[in-house]
Amino acid sequence: EDKVVQSPLSLVVHEGDTVTLNCSYEVTNFRSLLWYKQEKKAPTFLFMLTSSGIEKKSGRLSSILDKKELFSILNITATQTGDSAVYLCAEGSGGSNYKLTFGKGTLLTVNP
């Protein structure tokens, strides 16, 4: 059974710190790896990664995938209190092109 493991489960930092969130996966027929930010209830899409070694970047957030070692990282530089959220990693694989398997998430708290 496919499995997505995120670490750490929770993290508390101060504004201005840089954080790295980890996501490892065990899959067959890998298709894509996605990152979401979940504030309150509704997740919002951050990145989709399909190729190894190509960094995706959006402002202070960036992400990269290593398909050989089966992991991805999400970096947030110069953190702000508005970055406080649960960050979810999900992978799409297998016979369907629409199913995602989600990790449990990393709860990030950024203190002023």
Partner 1 sequence: GAGVSQSPSNKVTEKGKDVELRCDPISGHTALYWYRQSLGQGLEFLIYFQGNSAPDKSGLPSDRFSAERTGGSVSTLTIQRTQQEDSAVYLCASIPAGAQIPYEQYFGPGTRLTVT
Q: Which residues in this chain contact partner 1 in the complex, by CB under 8 A?
A: 4, 32, 34, 40-45, 48, 88, 90, 92, 96-105
| Least separation in angstroms between CB 51 and partner 1 | 14
Q: In the structure encoding, which two tokens stand for residue 14, read together?
A: 């101060």
CA-CA distance, 51 to 45, in Å (whole number)? 18
Q: Give the separation between CA 90 and CA 94, rounded to whole angstroms.
A: 13
Q: Based on CB atoms, which residue is closest to partner 1, 12 or 78?
A: 12
What letter would DSSP give residue 54? P
Q: Which is nearer to partner 1, 33 or 110 (CB)?
A: 33
